[in-house]
Amino acid sequence: MSRATTIAFTGHRHYRGEVDVALSALLQRCYEEGYRTFLCGMAVGFDLAAAEAVMALRSVYADVRLVAVIPFAGQAQRFSERARRRYEQVVEMADERVVLSPSFHRGCYQQRNLYMVDRASLLIAWYNGTSGGTEQTYLAAQHCGLRIENLGCVAPDLRLF
């Protein structure tokens, strides 16, 4: 996996398809720019929607790779039935699965987010400026100099230091 051609996703869990059309168009543009590998953190909301958009892109371009970056084994146990089915379908269809921990532990989501930021050159976000894991990932990407495409509300100019 080449960092130069890899994208990571981050976004809020309350995502309900607000930017699905824009996300698909952005993924098409990114493919045309040479991006081929897509890292998904597998959370409910934007993550799963982004993974499904990548699978749709892969149905057109066979060289697209979806990597499910799973923070801990059993991540979907507390998901709703519908979300669990979506999650399982994405995991099954992923080209690669990376499970970072055998069980939940404090900090496992942050570990997942940093794993993705460290392996990507572009972060596609659905970030509205509120605090939480999406903000932390956005800040880490900004700090590491990743290109960021934010499909959420325009975020303030954030600085880690």
pLDDT over threshold 50, residue 155: no
Distance CA 128, CA 105 (A): 27
Structure confidence by residue, pLDDT tens digits, 83-140: 999 999 999 999 999 999 999 999 999 999 999 999 999 999 999 989 999 999 999 9
Residues pairing with 122 in the sheet: 7, 147
Give the tokens for residue 89: 């379908």
pTM for the model:
0.93
- Give me the residue spans of the domains in the chain: 3-150
The CATH fold of domain 3-150: Rossmann fold (3.40.50)
Contact 66, 93 (CB under 8 A): yes
